Chains A and B, each alone.
Chain A
Amino acid sequence: MGDLPILKRTLAVYTGLFIVFLYGPFVVMGILSFQAGPEGGPQFPIIEWSTYWYRHLFGLTEATRIAPLPIREALLRSLTLAFATTVVSTVLGTLTAQAFRRNFRGSGVIFYLVILGMMVPGLLLGLGQALVAQNLGIDRSWWGTAFVLHVVYTYPFAFLVMLAIFNRFDPRVEEAAWSLGVSPAVTFRKVTFPMVFPGVLSAMLFGFTLSYDEFPRSLFTAGSDVTLPLAIYGTFAVEIHPNIFAFGVLSTLFSFTILAIYGLLMAASVRRARIKASGIQEDEA
């Protein structure tokens, strides 16, 4: 081990640090979530290991001066919002990418207009949206003004994912279907869509995760009924208890579950694709 070249050793240290910084916060959060309650605070040392704060989260402990986290409705809102955002931005992204398969007049400009949604700083966009809403007399709400901004934000991601997928898609498969007398609409449903479905899954994953923990755009546009990230942020203003950490652990586990489902679906579709492989690219001269 002593002969390890200097470069390798540097890279190993770098990688180690990277992992510590990546997982450190989560590990600390995980440990502190098992702090004793209700007297234990969000700091070391651990007075006693307990699941008190998890029970507190679900209202299973005796009432104390520490109020339960006001996140139940916020969680529901965020999930609903993320789901709606996912559906809308994936549909829009897929259709836009489909349009971009052919060159059309102004495609360059429209491309950058779409991409702008993910480039513009979210806080400014949120503020601008709030001003517009105010001037037009529209009430700000998570399902209205915030929803629009979430779509504006996630739609370019879905679009870019689908653009990459369609880039590798062989249009001759569609042409073959048309030449059999099948209309373009049916061809899209029966041939194109099943073939690009793994890409659609990725686009959906992007949409969901981006929207679920979106903060700056929601801050000014969600109105009085806040989304989950805003609700959590709101609790910081009062006093921090380990129940937030307990919630953080649970919500991280939830994200992992979503990722695992995505991974399984993807693996299944890749496995299917491998068996079927392609009657396409491989034999090309």
Chain B
Amino acid sequence: MLELQGLSKRYGTEVALDDVSLVVRDDEYLTLLGPSGSGKSTLLRVIAGLETPDAGRVLLDGRDIGALPTHRRGLGIVQQNYALFPHMTVFDNVAFGLRFRETAPVADPSEVDRRTRATLDLVGLTGFETRMPGQLSGGQKQRVSLARTLVTEPRICLLDEPLGALDANLRERMTVELRRIREALGVTFLHVTGNEAEALAMGDRMIVLDRGRALAVAPPEEIFAAPADTRVARFLNAWNLIPGRAGADGFEVAGEAPLALPAPAPQAQTYGVPYDAAWISRDPAPAPGEGVLPARYVASEFLGSKVVYLLRRADGKVFEVERHLSREDPETYAQDETLAVRWRLADVHLFDGAGRRIPLAPAGAPA
């Protein structure tokens, strides 16, 4: 178990980490989502001992490892750019840690051979032993980099945007692969990413980091269904966030009829509707238990399994509606056609002036 207590780090006046506390459990896949500059790489580097925090402690199984240099921490790090040793074959890259590590190096060549080959097999690179890194594709380099770390059996494997440099196709495949490999070994993965889909798909739990602060730590389903904060909702790229304020007749938005509230919440200042909870109708009449917003149609984007419709609200802001094609066929609308966007109030979340989600109890709203 890895425990971070109040980690802070600043570069000059720029805050990279601001009082981050976190528990990383054994045998879990933890993803860390944050935009660039959120401090996510810094956090990884502090854990690995590549940066010194200004304040806070890093505990591994209850032992403070803050003073230990990187090579004595027993944590593996998979670098974003793979950082393979360009002058060594794939086999030598992977065997490097076993052969030359300070603690318990493996001197027996047949043992090195056996473990290296077993790990290469695990990542699906059997037969590539004698290749040089320059002869590998991006995905293969990624696997070598992973194998090189995994063969040393680290307590925790830190992955810094491991899929960032791969194309979409490969990224999807590696997503499945990474989970499979992790489960086969039972080692904890701490996976840093700027891609919300990756963080949601891969993590047993996920952390959302912004400007050096951990905004949310929870299983991805929970974070996705009920983001703790408007910033979290924004990073997830799955929520329409409408600014306004709660009034007597509902949620008042500039230039619109008030929106129905799922529950009384006088402090609400942001009204959140998930992209995929809304649907488009030509009927603007209000209905109980539903929210309605008039909007003009702008464009749609066909994404294979789903269609994303872009609409413009009266104040000019874009409202996105995502419809899965397993449920319905794509519709066509005329440019600038005035439509009504509708959603169930049960899917709505409200956020207060500080951006925090307001817990809604009654009227069938989710907790």
**Are A177 and B96 interface neighbours, CB within 8 A?**
yes
Q: Name 26 interchain pairs, CB-CB below 8 A, sorted by A.
A: A172-B79, A175-B48, A175-B70, A176-B84, A177-B85, A178-B70, A179-B48, A180-B71, A180-B97, A180-B100, A180-B152, A181-B72, A181-B152, A182-B71, A182-B101, A182-B102, A186-B100, A190-B100, A195-B86, A275-B134, A276-B86, A277-B133, A277-B135, A279-B134, A281-B81, A284-B81
Q: Report the separation of the CA atoms of residues A179 and B71 in the bound assembly, to the nearest whole angstrom.
A: 5
Q: Report the separation of the CA atoms of residues A181 and B96 in the bound assembly, to the nearest whole angstrom.
A: 10
Most buried by A among B69, B71, B73, B75: B71
User: Given the complex, which residues of A lie within 8 Å of B132, measured CB to CB?
Assistant: 275-277
User: Given the complex, which residues of B lie within 8 Å of A276, measured CB to CB?
Assistant: 86-88, 132-135
Q: Indicate whether B50 reaches chain A with its CB closer than 8 angstroms.
A: yes
* Cβ contact of B96, chosen from A172, A182, A275, cutoff 8 A: A182
Binding site for A on B (CB under 8 A): 48, 50, 69-77, 79-88, 93, 96-97, 100-103, 132-136, 138, 141, 144-145, 148-149, 152, 154, 158, 164-165
Q: Report the separation of the CA atoms of residues A275 and B80 in the bound assembly, to the nearest whole angstrom.
A: 22
* Cβ contact of B138, chosen from A172, A175, A283, cutoff 8 A: A283
**Are A273 and B71 interface neighbours, CB within 8 A?**
no
Q: Indicate whether A95 reaches chain B with its CB closer than 8 angstroms.
A: no
Q: Indicate whether A170 reaches chain B with its CB closer than 8 angstroms.
A: yes
**Are B76 and A180 interface neighbours, CB within 8 A?**
yes
Given A186-B102, A276-B86: 16 more A-B contacts, CB < 8 Å? A172-B79, A176-B83, A176-B149, A178-B50, A178-B69, A180-B100, A180-B149, A182-B96, A191-B85, A273-B86, A276-B135, A277-B86, A279-B83, A279-B141, A281-B81, A285-B164
Q: Report the separation of the CA atoms of residues A180 and B98 in the bound assembly, to the nearest whole angstrom.
A: 8
* Cβ contact of B134, chosen from A173, A278, A284, cutoff 8 A: A278
Closest to A177 in B: B96
User: Given the complex, which residues of A lie within 8 Å of B76, measured CB to CB?
Assistant: 179-180
Binding site for B on A (CB under 8 A): 170, 172-173, 175-184, 186, 190-191, 194-195, 272-281, 283-285
User: Given the complex, which residues of B lie within 8 Å of A179, measured CB to CB?
Assistant: 48, 70-71, 73, 75-77, 149, 154, 158
Nearest Cβ on chain B to A103's Cβ, whole angstroms: 12
**Are B77 and A279 interface neighbours, CB within 8 A?**
no
Q: Report the separation of the CA atoms of residues A9 and B103 in the bound assembly, to the nearest whole angstrom.
A: 69
| 3 closest Cβ pairs, A-B complex | A277-B134, A279-B84, A180-B97
**Are A195 and B87 interface neighbours, CB within 8 A?**
yes
User: Given the complex, which residues of A lie within 8 Å of B165, measured CB to CB?
Assistant: 283-285
Nearest Cβ on chain A to B41's Cβ, whole angstroms: 11
Nearest Cβ on chain B to A102's Cβ, whole angstroms: 12
**Are A181 and B79 interface neighbours, CB within 8 A?**
no
Nearest Cβ on chain A to B284's Cβ, whole angstroms: 45
**Are A175 and B83 interface neighbours, CB within 8 A?**
yes
Most buried by A among B80, B87, B103: B87
Q: Report the separation of the CA atoms of residues A178 and B80 in the bound assembly, to the nearest whole angstrom.
A: 16
Given contacts A175-B79, A178-B71, A184-B71, contact A279 B85 (CB under 8 A): yes
